[in-house]
Amino acid sequence: MQKDLLKLLDLTKEDIIKILNVADQMKYNQKHGLTHNYLQGKTVAMIFEKNSTRTRVSFETGMFQLGGHALFLSGKESQIGRGEPIEDTARVLSRYCDGIMIRTFGQDEVETLAKYASIPVINGLTDFAHPCQVLADLMTIREHKARLEGLKMCFIGDGNNMANSLIVGGLKCGMDVSVACPEGYDPDQKVLDFAKTVTGSKFQLCRTPQEAAVDADVILTDVWASMGQEGEKAAREKAFAGFQVNDALMALTHEGCMVQHCLPAHRGEEITAEVFEAHADEIFDEAENRLHAQKAVMFLLMGGEHA
């Protein structure tokens, strides 16, 4: 394992599978009342410059279940929000805590934090990557399909942090990946360059959801306008018209195709209420698995492996 979890591009397939295996064990332990204080006496500082429901609750709950403590630091209420250099915050928190989770805008901020911190740094979300969410997605797909290798993953929507991380995670785990985005909303070029280097798995960037969805084993989508893009809502609604997961699109997929959504969902926009409710169990398994996947990450990065 790497010292930090900054983006899935940094991980090997073996790293990802190891996290998923530990996450499965964490989930089994919780469901069977087996508690282990692997991180007793340890503290993770959680820096939030973007709002959150699932990230905050899952990290805070997960750290509690591992016997440790989580500290919530709002960007507005900490010195970061008043202009303290990220380098200084990294070095201060390294003297107090055993790990840092940050949910922010720029990937460069996370990378700088990790460079100057002497403790593990976990990316809870940036505009470029959402590794914790995609680890939970992969965990859920494997849980329902009993494998990842050889399956076809399809993402419909904006080429955002979710698309970037799904492409990398899916391809590294031996999945074929298709992505449907309108012109001008493609995934990051670094991710597209990575996809060209992959052998054994296929990658498609499509301009219609119908082309991307053919024979898919799992369909994923996300909101059309993410946090910080509220001013683009009208333009994005126009650009993404037709990029909806609905019954007609699902008819093109493999029988038993799963649906995943990182939430919150805007029913009637990127997904219909009918498809969402038909696949609600899978979607909320995915949401729950944020807890178990992140516990695995904290366990592996913060010393629980050696407990």
| Residues known to be catalytic | 103, 130, 133, 222, 262, 290
The annotation status of 132 as a binding-site residue, yes or no, is yes
The annotation status of 263 as a binding-site residue, yes or no, is yes
The annotation status of 206 as a binding-site residue, yes or no, is no
Rounded alpha-carbon distances, angstroms, from residue 5 to 100, 140, 217, 266 = 10, 19, 27, 29
The annotation status of 209 as a binding-site residue, yes or no, is no
The annotation status of 55 as a binding-site residue, yes or no, is yes
The annotation status of 133 as a binding-site residue, yes or no, is yes
The annotation status of 178 as a binding-site residue, yes or no, is no
The annotation status of 222 as a binding-site residue, yes or no, is yes
Nearest 10 degrees: CA dihedral of 1, 10, 194, 282? 70
Measured distance CA(54)–CA(80) in Å, rounded: 23
**Residue 187, token pair as written in the block:** 């995934």
The annotation status of 294 as a binding-site residue, yes or no, is no
The annotation status of 25 as a binding-site residue, yes or no, is no
Packing angle of the helix pair 54-65, 280-301 (nearest 10 deg): 50
Residue with tokens 């990290």: 59
Q: Are 175 and 240 in contact (CB under 8 A)?
A: no
**Residue 219, token pair as written in the block:** 């369909």
H or E element: which one contains 156?
strand 152-156
The annotation status of 112 as a binding-site residue, yes or no, is no
Residue with tokens 């500082």: 45
Q: Are 201 and 138 in contact (CB under 8 A)?
A: no
The annotation status of 290 as a binding-site residue, yes or no, is yes
Measured distance CA(116)–CA(112) in Å, rounded: 6
Binding site residue list for carbamoyl phosphate: 52-55, 79, 103, 130-133, 262-263, 290
Binding site residue list for L-ornithine: 161, 222, 226-227
Binding site residue list: 52-55, 79, 103, 130-133, 161, 222, 226-227, 262-263, 290
